[in-house]
Amino acid sequence: MKKSYTVYKSDISYFSGKLEAYLRYKGISYEAIECGRREMDKIGQATGVKKMPAIEMDNGQWLFDSTPMLEWLEQQHPEPCTVPNDPALAFLALLIEDYGDEWLWRSAMWWRWIPQRSRWAVGYVIGKAFAPSLLARPLGWLFGHRQRREWLWTDGVTRDNEASVRDMVFREFEFLEPLLVKQPFLLGSHPSAADFGYFASMFRHFGNDPDSAEVMRRQAPNTYEWLARLWNASADKLPKVIEWQWPETSEWEPFLTRIAADYLPYLHQNALAFQQGQKCFDFVGHSLSFKRTKTTVYRVYCRERLQQQYQQLSASDQGRLEQLFKAVGGLGSLQADGVIFSGLAESLMLPCEAKGETATFVRIRSQPRN
């Protein structure tokens, strides 16, 4: 059977794992190509951004950035659905997907690039993909140094808060372990957008890198099992009827607190800094604070999209969500100071035509994401 999608990805990439798990679950046929220097150049020339994963379609159009990609693919391949038909639960799934993508990033970076064993192992894999064998280890060492500087030490992580960043994953285990005893996926009987967003960091970083994977196997076996279950999930292996679950059990409370009191305030403060033209800002949250963390335009876009999705809900569905978050601080940070536009919406409309030259908007206006 002809494959209409060519997926450019890496087997150690945060967002490549998310995309591949989605394609596998949907039964969408694709050809996978592991990225090296030439492939990254091709992606950059086609999409304007040198980042993976990216999809080249047989009609010459391209998809890039995992969240817009999954939204577009969901429209083209609606069965089995990964967005609940309950509008309030659908918004929650997309909010969790965004949280998994953007908030767990720092802890994933810590566990990949701070422990020496993981840093050397992953660095060597990257080095081999982009350099001759003799240069693989030196390039991997340089890349590891760059990652620690770019994503940790110059992005708000200090010796004072480093342990809290490291331990973010343990807070997620405290939520996931009891939940996944009760149900196979985050929102019920089948995978949802929430699972795929959460899966990104949990699979490629926490679940596969040497140090964090050993921690997960010993301290979070239900989470480890969920990773394998989602990676191996397909519609024909699951019941035909999807049973979604509204989050009412006790283990949800600390998790919802992190969204309401840490993540949404972070998005708000980042958007304000962007609006004011600040390159960095001091973030103060409920459980974490970051001094001089980088202002990131992509996360302004994330907040903008969440605001749009929330405003499309009926008053009754908004009320259900407000009630869900009421005990943990509410959703006030989502709407505070109104919509602050990122200017990225048009650039991220999919599919896109091959551009033929590499644009610079992501490298100049935002941190590049892998």
Burial of 71 (0-12, 13-18, 19+ CB in 10 A): middle
DSSP category for residue 249: S
Q: What are phi and psi of 331, to 5 degrees?
A: -105, 25
Length of the chain in terms of residues written = 370
Q: What are phi and psi of 322, to 5 degrees?
A: -60, -40
Tell me how crowded residue 211 is: count the other CB atoms within 10 A of its CB.
17
Query: How many helices and strands, by DSSP H and E, does the chain display?
Result: 18, 7
Provide the token pair at 34.
């592991």
User: Omega into 80 within 30° of 0, i.e. cis?
Assistant: yes
What's the confidence (pLDDT) of residue 320? 98
The structure's pTM equals: 0.94
What's the confidence (pLDDT) of residue 366? 41
CB under 8 Å to 78, separation ≥6 — which residues? none
pLDDT tens readout for residues 195-208? 999 999 999 999 99
Quote the distance between the C-alpha of residue 346 and its chain's center. Answer: 21
- Given a cut of 50, the residues of the chain with pLDDT beneath it are 1, 360-370
What's the confidence (pLDDT) of residue 367? 46
For 56-69, the DSSP string reads EETTSEEEESHHHH
What's the confidence (pLDDT) of residue 179? 97
> Where do the structural domains in the chain lie, given as residue ranges?
108-164, 252-347
CA–CA–CA angle 126, 99, 89 (5° rounding): 135
For 293-311, the DSSP string reads EEP-HHHHHHHHHHHHHHH
CB under 8 Å to 234, separation ≥6 — which residues? 24, 25, 27
What's the confidence (pLDDT) of residue 356? 73
